[in-house]
């Protein structure tokens, strides 16, 4: 798995990119989820500078060589372009009207 967070100061937006690879998917099929933690919790993710303007991209990629090559280059935008090369918006399957939120409150609140 490759995970990266980019804070774009010009647009005041943050982007979290997660690229799941075949071995990650196999683990997830066995109810072993992927967990990501911030650096302050001992993980790898830097602080989200613009949490109110956060976009999350979760992709699956089988071409591990290309994915790691793009990741090692240090520029996230070519990787995002690569991961979204097949993106298309389908109103019957995508969009906020088709999304579901489990909670509106913080965990434990009623």
What pLDDT is stored for residue 52 in this prediction?
Answer: 97
d(CA 61, CA 23): 11
Spans of all domains in the chain: 2-87
Tens-digit pLDDT profile for residues 34-43:
888 989 999 9
Q: Is residue 88 predicted with pLDDT exceeding 60?
A: yes
Q: CB–CB of 14/50 below 8 Å? A: yes
Helix (H) or strand (E) holding 27: helix 22-29
What pLDDT is stored for residue 72 in this prediction?
Answer: 83
Residue 73 pLDDT level (bands cut at 50, 70, 90): confident
Give the residue from 97, 14, 92 showing the smallest Cα distance to 49: 14
Terminal-to-terminal C-alpha distance of the chain: 35
Angle, helices 76-83/64-72, rounded to nearest 10 degrees:
150
Tens-digit pLDDT profile for residues 21-72:
999 999 999 999 988 898 999 998 888 999 999 999 999 999 888 888 887 8
Residue 105 pLDDT level (bands cut at 50, 70, 90): low
What pLDDT is stored for residue 106 in this prediction?
Answer: 53
71 exposure class (CB count in 10 Å sphere: 0-12, 13-18, 19+) = middle
What pLDDT is stored for residue 110 in this prediction?
Answer: 45
Q: Which two tokens stand for residue 71?
A: 């990741």
């Amino acid at each position: 798995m490759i995970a990266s967070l980019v804070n774009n100061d010009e647009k005041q937006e943050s982007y979290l990119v997660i690229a799941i690879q075949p071995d990650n998917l196999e683990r997830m099929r066995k109810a072993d989820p992927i967990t990501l933690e911030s650096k302050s919790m001992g993980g790898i993710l830097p602080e989200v500078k613009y949490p109110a303007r956060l976009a999350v991209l979760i992709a699956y990629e089988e071409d591990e060589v290309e994915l790691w090559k793009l990741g090692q280059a240090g520029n996230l935008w070519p990787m995002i372009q690569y991961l979204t090369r097949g993106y298309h918006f389908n109103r019957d399957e995508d969009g906020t009207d088709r999304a579901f939120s489990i909670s509106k409150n913080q965990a434990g609140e009623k």
